[in-house]
Structure 1
Amino acid sequence: MSRRELDANVLESTVLGRTVRTRAHSLSVWFVLALRLMMGIAFLWSGADKVLAAEPFDAAGYLQYATPENGSPFADLFVAMGQTDWFVAVVNVAVPWGEVLIGLGLIVGAFTRLAAFFGAFMMLMFYLGNWDMAHGPINGDFAYMLTFLAVAALGAGRVLGLDAYIEQYPVGGRPLVERYPFLSYLLG
């Protein structure tokens, strides 16, 4: 393996003055793709189930009653959200359609970081609302949140995804992300 190929697999980050460096295995790219597709399918499925249900999705009952019953320290916030008609109306659209759009974005690898950010935000809200410390602070909602963040951090949309093409789309003779660097926070 050439020096350039070895350097391509290097992961390095400095946080608070501490640098961590490692080399990813060449198979890592396939696991990144698998994570992206797994989360995409899970969210598309969940959202489509809500959108296509016989009864329209309604978050009011969950917001008002589920969190006080499970002992969430954020129960008062969730109850207040559930008692605010305009907020419930927004959530009733945002949750099912957000899940569909997040799922589609991840499956095709387009605007992957944006989709993963909103997926992680939704999972944080589910984590706070589904509060369950019976087995400690780490549950499925928390694990999904971290999976979304890993998908975003690893640039999973560039692995057999449309982000690799969108980033390089020529605008004024330069690749899109060179011309508009802020897009690197949404693509990848």
Structure 2
Amino acid sequence: MFNKFLRENKYAAIILAVLRVYLGYSWFTAGLGKLTGGFDASGFLKGAIAKPVTGPEGDMVFGWYVHFLKGFALPNVDIFNFVVPWGETLIGLGLLLGCLTTAAMFFGLFMNFMFFLAGTVSHNPRDIFIGFIILTAGYNAGRIGLDRWVIPFIRKFTNKNAGIEKQKVTA
């Protein structure tokens, strides 16, 4: 019943638009600040490796993630120096404009979880909670935004191409 409300109700679309813009502004300003202020993830990565998330007995909770940071992320920090600021900026832009909202929120949640696994709590729990509401709402979260026009265009385009593929297979 709540899912139906989130996914179909026009009043839910208004509430979702407010939540989406709030979260989008947060993502966009964080990303833009990193793009314009010079961003280097190596300090964050080194800190997450040196002081991982630990349990009550002092053992690493996400050892696999620390190994990922040490073995892949830190040696390839230039990739992360590009992906993080641009990812945050584009996620924010998608949410602000309501364009490809579900995809933007999916990647936003992915990044939130990566920060969370590295031990950054901050506003991540709140963002994850709001993000799951937006992701669950699907199209309705972007109905008051560019998704009103973009999603039908994408559906029309993909259905048109699917028909071409079907003709090739049957021929």
Scaled by the length of structure 1, the TM-score of the pair is 0.67
AA paired with 1:83? L
Q: Which ranges in structure 2 are unaligned for 5 or more consecutive residues?
A: 55-60, 163-171
Higher helix share: 2
**Match for residue 51 of structure 2 among 53, 69, 86:** 69
Structure 1 distance, partners of 2:158, 2:98, is 16
- Cross-structure match for 1:94: 83
AA paired with 1:42? S
* 1:66–1:180 CA distance, 2 compared to 1 (3 A): same
- Cross-structure match for 1:150: 133
Structure 2 distance, partners of 1:105, 1:34, is 14
Question: How far 1:157 moved relative to its partner?
Answer: 1.2
Question: How far 1:176 moved relative to its partner?
Answer: 4.2
- Cross-structure match for 1:135: none
* 1:129–1:12 CA distance, 2 compared to 1 (3 A): closer
AA paired with 1:143? R
Q: Is the 8 A contact 1:57 1:92 kept in 2?
A: yes
Count of residues in correspondence between the two structures: 151
**Match for residue 166 of structure 1 among 143, 150, 162:** 150
Greater RCO, 1 or 2 (C-alpha within 8 Å, sep 6+) = 2
Q: Is the 8 A contact 1:50 1:96 kept in 2?
A: yes
AA paired with 1:62? F
Q: CA RMSD in A?
A: 3.0
Identity of paired residues, percent? 29
- Cross-structure match for 2:167: none
- 1:59-138 superposed matches below 5 A: 59-72=41-54, 73-74=61-62, 75-84=66-75, 87-130=76-119
Q: Is the 8 A contact 1:43 1:102 kept in 2?
A: yes
* 1:30–1:177 CA distance, 2 compared to 1 (3 A): farther
